[in-house]
Amino acid sequence: MAVWADCAVADPAKLADDFNGDGYRDLAIGMPQKAISGKEGAGAVLLTFGSAHGLTGKHVYITQNSTGIPGTAGYQDFFGSSLASGDLNHDGYADLLVGREDDTTAGTSDNGSVTVLWGGASPLRRGLALPMGQSYSGRMLGSDIAVGDFTGDSAPDVAVSGQTSLRLYSGTFTRTKAPAGIDVSDQDPTGIWNITAGDFDGGGKADLAVSAPEEDPYRNQGSGALWQLRGTSNGVSTRGVSVFGSKDYGVAPSSGIGETLLD
């Protein structure tokens, strides 16, 4: 029987993607289309380890059917559709967040979900599902994930986007419990897809950039739009949001601003 303990006095991981703590960056690879046990699109994640010679053949392969991982591989769950990392529980090992945007949860199709896979000397052998709050069809929470210190308390926070919502997790993460999370936007049929974190104004707190390539503040459908939500001591704020569209960047309509964002 394995017993997991959180180490409150450990230094945070020096690298946000060193999952086994050997001082080298590792690479997580999502395979959301992979069939598992005959379930098409169930999805999987492959972790390959870095070394003094670069990436190696040493790896860990994870699905929702793996021992210690929450959930069960299902048809078109798309486990691995989004990935992010950071030392969430401050134990000195990077942890991996895995989205499955089409996961059926609480009997609701395409609600989506996110799992934390814990780093360690033998990493990604245990996981924890983040609380998803309300459920509704087509939410697709887990479309994208960003990790940043939005509150300025030197602890990592997590933002998760879906097609119709944005959810923030701030507070203490342990191997057995995550913050409850709050929705920081209402249902929006235009969709919220891509997110990335960064201290864009130098204020000491991470801000959140949110893009929707099918939206545009100037009503040019398909031009795309970008919003900057600023970090505060209470987390990401929906007040004082900066909005940018095709006119601000001098690009033609239907440019699809925000199809991808640099993490």
- List, for residues 26-74, the tens digit of each pLDDT value: 999 999 999 999 999 999 999 999 999 999 999 999 999 999 999 999 9
Give the CA radius of gyration of the chain.
18
Mean pLDDT to the nearest integer, 187-204: 81
CA distance 185 to 167: 7
- List, for residues 115-158, the tens digit of each pLDDT value: 999 999 999 999 999 998 888 788 888 999 999 999 999 999 99
CA distance 76 to 41: 4
The contacts found for 122-125 with CB under 8 angstroms, 24 or more apart, are: 122/20, 123/19, 123/20, 123/47, 123/60, 123/93, 123/96, 124/19, 124/45, 124/47, 124/60, 124/62, 124/96, 125/2, 125/60, 125/67, 125/68
Higher per-residue pLDDT: 8 or 151:
151
CB atoms near residue 60 (< 10 Å):
20
Task: Report which of 196, 60, 72 is spatially closest to residue 129, judged by C-alpha positions.
Answer: 72
User: What's the confidence (pLDDT) of residue 7?
Assistant: 36
CA terminus-to-terminus distance, the chain: 38
| Residues 6 or more apart whose Cβ sits within 8 Å of residue 255 | 222, 223, 224, 246
Residue 245 in this model has a pLDDT that exceeds 50: yes
Say if residues 229 and 202 touch (Cβ distance below 8 Å): no
pTM: 0.90
